[in-house]
């Protein structure tokens, strides 16, 4: 196992992203955007819970800190998990296909890899959608001095949801398990709707408080 992407410096990560190396790609960039959103969520929450003025919201803010810290760690890990999921698909396609047995084994491995490479962005989108909603909530009840950070968290989280799901959609096209594909498509629609609503709500609240 080579060095983790999350252990690279920000500068080196960006340089590798900008190269023609297959990973990190859009999935890893989406996971990083989601992790950034989670970081902003907990920053705003911490700048709220430390102030007497918002003591009434302290129990809920502590829940948000816990959820945000967890999501940040999950999404950071997802940067590398997404690269591994890509490799799972590629390793299937590289298998030999000279005999009918090899062809069948290869097809099975490709289908397994495609499911892993669909689950990975779905997982990024699930946690990022939650971050978009928590950001919208913080725009309402959080420290107004950090209102622009709450708004930015919602923007980045929504982009992470949609970006991750674009990656997932590619793999769905080649998946043959109809029930799985239908369930995944339904969840994708729901995640996009949740994230879009949260972004709109957070942005409206933020612009209103900034005005």
**Which candidate, 24, 32, 40, places its Cα nearest to that of 85?**
24
CB of 106 to its own copies, least distance (A): 20
Q: What does residue 19 show for φ and ψ, rounded to 5 degrees?
A: -80, 180
Can you tell me the distance from the alpha carbon of 37 to that of 89, in angstroms, rounded to the nearest whole number? 28
Residue 205: in which H helix or E strand, if any?
helix 178-210
CB of 100 to its own copies, least distance (A): 28
Window contacting its own copies (CB under 8 A); options: 54-62, 90-98, 99-107, 156-164: 156-164
Binders in 3-22 for its own copies, by CB under 8 A: 5-11, 13-15, 17-21
Binders in 63-82 for its own copies, by CB under 8 A: 68-69, 72, 76, 79
**Residue 94 carries which DSSP code?**
T
CB of 101 to its own copies, least distance (A): 29
Site map (CB under 8 A) of its own copies, residues 120-149, x = contact: --------------------------xxxx
Work out which of 118, 120, 128, 167 binds its own copies, going by CB under 8 A.
167
> Tokens at residue 173, please?
């096209």
Residue 113: in which H helix or E strand, if any?
helix 100-141
Q: Are 41 and 151 in contact (CB under 8 A)?
A: no
Residue 36: in which H helix or E strand, if any?
helix 26-49
Helix axes 58-93, 147-172, angle to 10 degrees: 30
Window contacting its own copies (CB under 8 A); options: 43-51, 81-89, 90-98, 101-109: 43-51
Binders in 171-190 for its own copies, by CB under 8 A: 173
CB of 82 to its own copies, least distance (A): 12
> Tokens at residue 20, please?
């023609």
**Chain centroid to CA 16: how far?**
19
Closer CB to its own copies, 105 or 122, in the complex: 122
Count CB-CB contacts under 10 A for residue 12.
12
**Residues making contact with its own copies (CB under 8 A):** 5-11, 13-15, 17-21, 25-26, 29-30, 32-33, 35-43, 46-47, 50, 68-69, 72, 76, 79, 146-149, 151-153, 155-156, 158-159, 162-163, 166-167, 169-170, 173, 203, 206-207, 210
């Amino acid at each position: 196992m080579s060095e983790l992407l999350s252990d690279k410096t920000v500068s080196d990560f960006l340089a590798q992203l900008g190269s023609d190396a297959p990973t990190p790609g859009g999935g890893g960039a989406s996971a990083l955007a989601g992790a950034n959103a989670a970081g902003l969520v907990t920053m705003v929450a911490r700048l709220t819970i430390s102030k007497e003025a918002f003591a009434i919201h302290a129990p809920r803010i502590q829940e948000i800190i816990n959820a945000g810290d967890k999501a940040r760690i999950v999404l950071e890990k997802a940067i590398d998990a997404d690269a591994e999921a890509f490799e799972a698909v590629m390793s299937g396609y590289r298998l030999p296909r000279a005999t009918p047995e090899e062809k069948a084994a290869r097809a099975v491995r490709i289908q397994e890899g495609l499911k892993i490479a669909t689950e990975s962005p779905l997982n990024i989108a699930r946690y990022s959608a939650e971050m978009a909603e928590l950001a919208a909530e913080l725009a309402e009840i959080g420290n107004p001095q950090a209102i622009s950070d709450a708004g930015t968290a919602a923007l980045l989280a929504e982009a992470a949801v949609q970006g991750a799901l674009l990656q997932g959609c590619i793999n769905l096209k080649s998946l043959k398990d109809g029930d799985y594909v239908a369930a995944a498509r339904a969840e994708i629609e729901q995640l996009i709707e949740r994230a879009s609503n949260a972004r709109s709500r957070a942005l409206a609240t933020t612009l209103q408080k900034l005005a």
